[in-house]
């Protein structure tokens, strides 16, 4: 039997339903950089209704410091766009490829975005699929912090301290470094218990940090040993 051709209005209805049911935000803009489509997930992400944003500049959804350079980036993308060579997965959020949106209340939202150039009614449009990755970004920041800090005292750890010192060695302002440890610390643990010993280390960490001026750094070296780096301070 011959296949029945679907009516254009049925196809359009199915398309709009799929777009509105999508988990990710879908936003399209025309060649003048005005929003032409804003699905339900986009409304939830940015907290604007589609009626509020349709026809409005796409830069309203960007942090202010990203807006001036947006037209140039769009043009670069358009010139270089090759659908056959596109990656199967969208760009990942990391330190070298951070993409951000702007919530209605001004909050900056880390997002993952994949952009396509499409032709609609003989006009060029750009479609962005935008994924909210706030939870992932928060987890990344937590993991970075855990890798850089001492869990007990919340001071930077030995590795971060050494990186800080290396970064200051090339400076001409001079650098002093000192190390200290708690005398007879084992006696504290033996007499009062390790919980009290840990509290002693935490108090010492707070006191040491409070004495740092300028860009000095107080860190935990390990055990009951602490170190400080004082840029611009000589031995005297």
Q: Which residues are catalytic?
A: 224
Separation of alpha carbons 33 and 58, rounded Å: 6
The interaxial angle of helices 185-192 and 194-210, nearest 10 deg, is 140
Separation of alpha carbons 129 and 184, rounded Å: 61
CA dihedral in degrees (85, 135, 98, 70; nearest 10)?
A: 90
For 51, counting Cβ atoms within 10 Å of its Cβ (0-12 exposed, 13-18 middle, 19+ buried), the class is exposed
Separation of alpha carbons 155 and 105, rounded Å: 34
Q: For the sheet with 99-102, list strands across it.
A: 35-38, 25-29, 123-132, 108-120, 99-102
Residue 111 backbone phi and psi in degrees, to 5: -135, 160
């Amino acid at each position: 039997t011959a296949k029945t051709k679907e009516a254009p209005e049925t196809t359009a209805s199915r398309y709009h339903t799929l777009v509105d049911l999508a988990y990710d935000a879908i936003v399209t803009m025309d060649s003048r950089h005005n929003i032409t489509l804003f699905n339900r997930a986009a409304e939830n992400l940015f907290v604007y209704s589609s009626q509020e944003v349709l026809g409005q500049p796409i830069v309203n959804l960007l942090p202010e410091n990203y807006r001036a350079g947006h037209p140039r980036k769009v043009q670069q993308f358009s010139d270089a766009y090759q659908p056959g060579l596109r990656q199967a997965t969208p760009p990942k959020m990391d330190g070298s490829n951070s993409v951000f949106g702007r919530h209605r209340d001004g909050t900056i939202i880390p997002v993952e975005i994949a952009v396509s150039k499409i032709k609609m009614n003989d006009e060029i449009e750009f479609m962005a699929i935008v994924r909210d990755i706030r939870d992932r970004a928060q987890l990344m920041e937590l993991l970075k912090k855990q890798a850089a800090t001492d869990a007990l005292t919340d001071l930077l750890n030995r590795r971060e301290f050494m990186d800080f010192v290396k970064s200051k060695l090339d400076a001409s302002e001079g650098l002093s470094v000192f190390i200290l440890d708690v005398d007879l610390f084992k006696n504290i643990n033996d007499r009062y218990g390790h919980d009290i010993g840990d509290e002693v280390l935490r108090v010492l960490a707070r006191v040491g940090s409070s004495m740092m001026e300028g860009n000095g750094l107080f860190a935990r070296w390990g055990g009951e040993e602490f170190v400080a780096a004082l840029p611009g301070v000589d031995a005297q």
